[in-house]
Amino acid sequence: MIKLGSLLSVLAVLVGCSEKPPVAEHDANIYQTAVYFNSLRPKEDRRDDAQRKPAEILAFAGVEPGMKVIDLLGGGGWYTELLAAVVGDEGHVYLANTPLFLHFTQPQMEARLSNNRLKNVTRVDGEWTQMNLPEEVDLIWLSLAYHDIYVKRPNDPSFEADRDSFFEQIKTALKPGGMILVIDHAATSGTGKEAAQTLHRIDEEFARADFESEGFVFVKSLDILRNPADDYTKDIWAKDIMNKTDKFIFLFQKPMQ
């Protein structure tokens, strides 16, 4: 007999995969192809497409075949899968995690990379102060993790970032003219970094100024993940707001010199 929980899990996957692609396969661009017509992509990943809108964000970031990309603090590699499909055989993706992210997502990450199923992906583990990032990369993808560099974790120092070291490492990793995409949960305007500690959110004005203070040039923003109904007083893990938070998306560039 099939247990109810198992049946519901199967149904959830099927429902998540039942949404019709927005374009026909022969009309799809490289981003839509990677998201909707990628036979290698795990079915369970597709459940989040509607709320994460990956094809649009990949296009916004300008990911191209042949690029060298870091999925920084990418956890289980949900975006790694898509980035790998877009950059193709001539490109490469580095899935980089610190102990904090490995603690929560290592089984998912290892399953994704098992048996060399993503041949153009390299796993990179490192400490916050030595993330072992490659250099001369075209793009750094930083999704829903930037706020974590401001969370104090006195009970486990290996989980706590060093802000200055973090920025120094990403500047070293990016080639001149390289880009960094930042997606994060918005906090109340004017609160700076204080909401990161308790609500896992960060003020977008603070975020922009933070990257600009390190020499990055703001290029553009995308409002596709905005939710004006979000309650900024709630933790992002609150049941009624989880996966529905208001999110900002910024693209920055490292200067040519």
CATH number of the structural domain spanning residue 188 = 3.40.50.150
Specify if 120 maps to a domain.
Answer: yes
Distance from C-alpha of 36 to C-alpha of 28, rounded to nearest angstrom = 9
Question: What pLDDT is recorded for position 209?
Answer: 98
pLDDT at res. 257: 80
Tokens found for residue 163:
């802000």
Assigned domain for 172 exists: yes
Within-domain flag for 17: no
**Residue 3 maps to a domain:** no
Domain coverage including residue 176: 48-253
pLDDT digits (tens, 9 = 90+) for 11-47: 333 334 446 899 999 999 999 999 999 999 999 999 9
Report pLDDT for 170: 98
Structural domain includes residue 193: yes
Closest listed residue to residue 104, CA positions, set 146, 73, 142? 73
Q: Which of 230, 225, 229 is nearest to 249 (CA)?
A: 225
pLDDT of residue 20: 84
pTM of the predicted model over 0.95: no
Q: How many domains does the chain have?
A: 1
Flag whether 131 is in a domain: yes
Q: Does residue 187 sit within a domain?
A: yes
Other Cβ atoms less than 10 A from the Cβ of 234: the count is 15
- CA 146 to chain centroid, in Å, comes to 10
Tokens at residue 184, please?
């994060």
Residue that has been written with the tokens 């960094």 in this structure: 180
Q: What is the DSSP string of 125-170?
A: E-BTTB----SSEEEEEEES-GGGGG---TT-GGG---HHHHHHHH
Asked if the structure places residue 15 within a domain, the reply is no
Please list the pLDDT of the chain residue by residue as tens digits (257 residues): 333 333 333 333 333 444 689 999 999 999 999 999 999 999 999 999 999 999 999 999 999 999 999 999 999 999 999 999 999 999 999 999 999 999 999 999 999 999 999 999 999 999 999 999 999 999 999 999 999 999 999 999 999 999 999 999 999 999 999 999 999 999 999 999 999 999 999 999 999 999 999 999 999 999 999 999 999 999 999 999 999 999 999 999 999 98
